[in-house]
Structure 1
Amino acid sequence: MRRRTDFKFAFNALFVKLMLSFLSVILLLASFNLVSHLYLSKKVYQEMVRQNELGLKQTALSYENHFRLTQNIILTLNRSRTWTANLGLLSQVRENRRYDVVREVKSDLANVYSNPFLHIENFILYFKEADYVFEKDGTSSMNDMFSKYYASKEYPPDYWSRQTMGNQYMRVLPAANFRESTMNSSRPLGSLLPLVTQVLPNKEVYGIVMLNARELHTAYGDGSASPFYILDADGVMLFSTSADRPVLSDISGSISYHEQVGDQYYFYQKGGQTGFTYVQVTPAAAVTSGMRQMQLLLAALLTAAVLTSILFSLFFSYRLNRPLQRLIAALERKSGTGAGKLSSVKEFAIIGDRMSRILETNQFIQTDLEHKNSLVR
């Protein structure tokens, strides 16, 4: 009985070698795509972080410009001789009875708080020695102003009476919720950010600019619901959009910084003019969601491509191996039967046709030779 070799599963068989070659190419391309995907994922992450940093940088710059603009407007008023003279008269108004300058000062104040782009709710002049205030609605005692018209538990009347500026020209105080509480009504005034300046050369006259903190954040924030904080140079919280007070890092040695704490990213930006620190808290899911979606999509596409490539490799290897197996079987039988039509591939068809003719010729010669040998014997 003739022994046959199993070419289908032999390691050195054509089918195995074809499959290994195809798999090598597939693994090479898959490795290239995987490395490209990891590289792009890193770039996408860096770009998302950069976008958050640029957004916070723009927010900080807008706040800084607003504080500087407000300061410059008050400085411009202080350079006016008419303004300083009128304030000098108002500081001694009980003695000199110069109530005629009230309208002029009120007009100067209106030019400041009526500008909608400044987001100023009120500009209050506090005459500390005379113990009264002057604002857009007229005059009142300091106690009435800060216990009724601008009442806040953070800023009671005695807080303002103890207020001193020292060598500072401008100071931004922490935002607080103010209310107007009178005998017949009580209405909230919202979150206001007091900005206190010294009205030169009258060192006992203070300008208290009430900035609308929410309007400022709406105008200069990124529009997201992510927590946002402003801290002064000493780390005191000036403004916060969240009731939670997180533990923030000290970035005194850097201008811009970001870190991940738990499932949140903290972005820090220091203001160049005021030295304030602006903090934006972004959930890690918001930073990585786009990247994860891309990772899932690319992983699915890569898996589908590899599986499809393997299936096509099996199909093509089988198509190439089958006619060769038939050719080998025909050679083992030493007969042209079944060797004529090996494959639809042109080259295999030609080989099959030539091999069939060779086998038929060889069979004819062998038969003739056996016949002649019989006659010789």
Structure 2
Amino acid sequence: MNMPTYRDEPFKWYEFMRQNHPVFRYGNSVHVFKYNDILNVLSNHRVFSSQFRDLLDENLSGILNEKIAPSILILDPPKHTELRNLINYAFVPKTIDNYENRIRQIADDLIINMLTEKNVDIVAKLSYPLPVMVISEILGIPDNDMPLFKIWSDRLASSLGRGPDIKTQYEIADYFYGLIRKPDKLKGLLKDLCTVEIDGRKLTDQEIVSFAILLLVAGNETTTNLITNTILTISENKKYFYEMQNDASLIPAVIEETLRYRSPVQSTRRYAREDTEISGTEVLKNDIVFLYLGSANRDEDIYKEPDLFDPKRNNKRHMAFGHGIHFCIGAPLARLEAVVVLKEFSKFIKDFTVEKPSGDDRIDSDIMYGFKKLIINL
């Protein structure tokens, strides 16, 4: 049997690895494919750290820290807890829910414009522009700056897992510094982040910029991929599309099953603070641990018929948004956007087909799963 590769088709590769090498050492890295093993690693931040800047060359780490504070994604407690509490205070689900009507209006406008064409790139016309417009409005970004977000987010998404794109991060940082240093003109979430305070502690400019950069990727690229992946998946399972048209209450379950079945984020990483083991495989101090969330979401020991798309399955405990202290802070917004878009899509679009994407159409990333373009026929 030839071993499938990640670039050919990740889900076949995951299946091969779960069955043959569920925990696999390669050099100074350890690759983990089973649900419970990944759950245990994500639950133990004391041993498996997210604080990768500790491993960087001191000069590079110093250069980054000077302008951009470490993201909450790569911090451990207590610093992570302190920073996340401040951000949660400003970025609360109630605030997000206030945007539902605006998200629906944006979705309607984009979908109605699509109806004038027979062949539509759903990425260019719907799943990319909507999250950018939403996150821009939430942050309080001027409309005419949105094209910059596309350039920056594409660069950052491509660099994930391949080392920091310092040039792009600096460009974005300079942009946000230009905004937050004019407090009288601030609005939206940026204004809230600049004013939030708990027990006398406020966010620094560097921390605000760091979170804004995180939202640019997490609030844009991942939601784009979730919408695109959902439309592709329901095109392959059309009975659920027709059911959704008659019963919109099914839509949240369709989104949750897509998150399991085609997760926008396929993997995450930690490093070992000390010598340890994962299911009998030795892990040495400073080893990089690769956790394949997309594989966990199709683990045969957890899900019955894991390769079957079934929104009505009872077990919905996927790992698309991670687990533990680093559970995705933007999950409520991503879910809301995807549900609203799918409701409006199934309302305006009576039927459609999808042109099967090629491997070249996939996003060039070892972490993100999605498509640069997806053509639908109306």
Whose strand fraction is larger, Structure 1's or Structure 2's? 1
TM-score computed with the length of structure 2 as normaliser: 0.20
Report the structure number with the largest CA radius of gyration: 1
